[in-house]
Amino acid sequence: MKISVIGTGYLGATHAACLAELGHDVLGLDTDPLKVAALAEGELPFFEPGLAELLHRHVASGRLRFTTSYEEVGAWAEVHFLGVGTPQRQGEGSADTTFVEDAVRSLAETITRDALIVGKSTVPVGTAQRLGEILARHQDPSLKIGLAWNPEFLREGFAVQDTLRPDRIVVGVDDAANASTLRAVYSAADELGVPFIITDFETAELVKMAANAFLATKISFINAFSEITEAVGGDIQTLAAGLGLDERIGPKFLRAGLGFGGGCLPKDIRALQARASELGHERSMRFLAEVEGINLRRRERAVFLAASMLGELQGKKVAALGAAFKPDSDDVRDSPALDVAVRLFDAGADVSVYDPKANANASQRFPRLAYADSLSDAVADADLILLLTEWDEFRSLSPDTLAVLTPARKIVDARNVLIADQWTAAGWDFAALGRRHTPVPDYAPVSA
Ligand code: NAD
């Protein structure tokens, strides 16, 4: 099928390359000419495992092309996916839907053949209905242009596999024929037996918001308990294991730590609260304010641990390992890791940040921090090390290998990926979120 993808950021570029992989002819469109130029050369402007290879292969084969021209996609494609951003409005919790509105208006004004527009962006409930009205106002009335909502559930870091083999496909339609078109687009997933849920616009929009609200809640749930285990001396990881083995609960998203961030969960739970308020149901989603409060307190706790281990932060050298909001991504939007690094800097610490992939994005956002090109550079003269994003490079650290690289013998594991006993046995002052911190009594600084 001839398919366009409007907005080629994290979601759109992934979707476009995966549709080409599934055998479709794909034309990606973005209003950012630099992004389009890079993609057209087969260069991925961000990091996502496996995606660069896919992009390269299908740009080379000619099955995947990029443009900035709405006229071109409007005349060519039979299906148009919308993957433009829905960021948080400045100074408010609500989602800014002007990008999806602009994209639909641009499509309506340039489509010259029967077509289907399919929203994938995460939007407040009621948006698809409104976009349908915009479409009707601006389209050529002689054409049949349908609208469907097909929310995206991919996880950054696993985006390619999640797109090629999703665990479900949800489709909101007001016309059964549009669901059939989408079934044809996703025939490969259909053959794999991926559940295909057909519903109305509102339910489709809400499923995505509900999924993100649930995931955020599960993370904050275990992190709330980690505040209690810190206070009483319990073990949050054993608690999580004991909880997750209950098959009604499950083990995923129960790792206590620095909490959630990124371009989706934080903005989506705020948008959901804002929308519930508009609908007169503010109380239904009020618990999400607490979910966010717990999430932000983890960052404060990480800073508190660093300060208490160092006595004071002013002038102390701190290595921040990780800037991305999660491993296997270079996305630093609302990143807990970067937020902790900035808080330490603002408290007077001399912070050196190292992330295997996200240094460039992080330094663009916070140029005042210092960035190291390698783990060894970051820790070379550190007084304290904080593990803030659980990249494999950091998970595999051992006290002995790290001791060769740094004079520091103090470490905060904000992601609960290191084995505490190994570090304390090797003489390190070790703290982790969710564990009571017992300072090493005979700690003495090691000269480099
Ligand atoms: P992004 O900022 O990486 O990409 C958005 C792109 O849209 C940008 O390249 C921007 O230039 C482009 N754009 C803006 N207005 C446009 C217009 N009028 N026409 C064409 N292009 C336009 O954002 P993202 O992370 O890819 O997220 C996009 C949407 O997908 C959001 O609603 C997000 O919540 C949702 N989503 C994202 C993910 C994810 O993992 N990133 C997962 C599921 C859902």
- DSSP character string of 134-158: HHHHHS-TTS-EEEEE------TTS
Query: Atom 30, ligand 1: which residue's CA is nearest?
Result: 121
Task: Please work out whether the CB of residue 84 comes within 6 Å of at least one atom of ligand 1.
Answer: yes
Rounded to an integer, what distance in angstroms lies between the CA atom of residue 300 and that of residue 61?
A: 50
For tokens 């961030």, what's the residue? Answer: 261
pLDDT at 439: 77
- Domains defined for the chain, CATH in brackets: 2-198 (3.40.50.720), 200-448 (3.40.50.720)
End-to-end CA distance of the chain: 62
**pLDDT for the residue 445:** 47
Q: What are the catalytic residues?
A: 264
Radius of gyration of the chain (CA): 24
Q: Which of 59, 65, 60 is CA-nearest to residue 30?
A: 65
426, amino acid identity: A
What is the C-alpha separation between 194 and 171, in angstroms, rounded?
Answer: 13
Q: Measured in angstroms, how far is the CA atom of residue 306 from the centroid of ligand 1?
A: 35
DSSP-derived secondary structure for 364-406: HH-TTSEE-SSHHHHHTT-SEEEE-S--HHHHT--HHHHHHH-
Q: What share of the chain is helix, strand, coil (3-state, %, to 5)?
A: 45, 15, 40
Q: Which of 6, 8, 10, 122 to mutate to test the pocket of ligand 1 (most atoms within 8 A of CB)?
A: 10
On whether the pTM is more than 0.85, the answer is yes
Residue 156 Cβ < 6 Å to ligand 1: yes
**Full pLDDT tens readout for the chain, 448 residues:** 999 999 999 999 999 999 999 999 999 999 999 999 999 999 999 999 999 999 999 999 999 999 999 999 999 999 999 999 999 999 999 999 999 999 999 999 999 999 999 999 999 999 999 999 999 999 999 999 999 999 999 999 999 999 999 999 999 999 999 999 999 999 999 999 999 999 999 999 999 999 999 999 999 999 999 999 999 999 999 999 999 999 999 999 999 999 999 999 999 999 999 999 999 999 999 999 999 999 999 999 999 999 999 999 999 999 999 999 999 999 999 999 999 999 999 999 999 999 999 999 999 999 999 999 999 999 999 999 999 999 999 999 999 999 999 999 999 999 999 999 999 999 999 999 998 888 765 544 444 3
Q: State residue 448's pLDDT score.
A: 37
C-beta atoms surrounding 94 within 10 Å: 17
Torsion sign, CA atoms 202, 204, 205, 208: positive
Measured by CA distance, the residue closest to atom 27 of ligand 1 is 85
Whether 263 is in the pocket of ligand 1, judged by its Cβ within 6 Å, is: yes
At 9, give phi and psi (nearest 5°): -90, -150
| Residue 125, ligand 1, Cβ within 6 A | no
Crossing angle (nearest 10°) for helices 10-21 and 51-61: 60
Alpha-carbon gap, residue 218 to 288, rounded angstroms:
11
- So what's the pLDDT on residue 108? 98
Q: Tell me which of 4, 11, 149 to substitute to probe ligand 1's pocket, judged by most ligand atoms within 8 Å of the beta carbon.
A: 11
Question: Ligand 1 atom 35: the closest Cα is on which residue?
Answer: 121
The response to whether residue 10 sits with its C-beta less than 6 Å from ligand 1 reads: yes
How far is residue 326's CA from residue 357's CA, in Å, rounded to a whole number? Answer: 11
265 close to 231: Cβ distance less than 8 angstroms: no
Does the C-beta of 11 come closer than 6 Å to ligand 1?
yes
